[in-house]
Amino acid sequence: MAVHAHPDDESSKGAATMARYVAEGVDVLVVTCTGGERGDILNPAMDRPEIRADIGAVREREMAAAREILGVQQRWLGFVDSGFPEGDPLPPLPEGCFARQPLEVAAEPLVRAVREFRPHVILTYDENGGYPHPDHVKTHEVSVEAFEAAGDPDRYPGTGEPWQPLKLYYHLTFHKERFTAENDAMIAAGLESPYAELLASWVDKPITWEITTKVACADHFATRDRALLAHATQIDPDGPWFACPLEVKREAWPTEDYHLARSLVDTELPEDDLFAGVRERVCL
């Protein structure tokens, strides 16, 4: 189970990993917490009045296309996008949005989904949301809550039979080591790197989460790109997502990376499989 804040997040974080496991016969469910109703239109070609007027429905159709490409199941939690507040001072978040929900209200439908789908592994964001969008931070909070509560029969009564997931991971998608490797590979190939400015301005911070798990999934990068492009309001085909050629990405950084945040099974770090330790447990 991969828990995400908005439609398109599933395609930009962990999509090739999911495509790999689907190809191996694993059942994968994407849980989307909000409808992305307050998201900006980031592809200039899609910035039209009729799309802006119906953005929620458009993003729902984009999500349907992306999940078909990835081969995953998908479930909406039904909360309303909080938007990304900007300004100084920051404006208050909209009334009734996802980020303003009490934790137990926001987590209840996710606990229900966990108990129904019965995942062994859950993917989500770290405590900063990967980046500090209020919906991403809330997604982290409800994911941790669901991981810890879904197996307790005394919590969230009426949401199904208890089920305890075995591992919880945080996405570590955008990190300096990866961008440096892709930058160096493009230069070595005689190409102009799109990452020079990014790396020059990169501010090193204390490492909060180490990479514990690298999932080899380069054979599914093309599927990831097709899923991204399905989110046409969010992804500009001429934008930075696709500035580094696929063959360079496959060679320079052929994995998607994670931090193992919780584990109820024995596993040896570093890992190359999200199900390390799980396969041994469930196949006994």
Residues making up the binding site for Zn(2+):
6, 9, 136
Distance CA 172, CA 130 (A): 8
Q: Binding site: which residues?
A: 6, 9, 136
Distance CA 149, CA 208 (A): 25
β partners of residue 169: 123, 260
Distance CA 241, CA 10 (A): 14
Helix then strand then coil, % of the chain, to nearest 5: 40, 15, 45
Residue among 44, 105, 54 at smallest CA distance from 78: 105
- The answer for residues whose C-beta is within 8 angstroms of residue 154's C-beta and 6 or more apart is none
Distance CA 229, CA 62 (A): 9
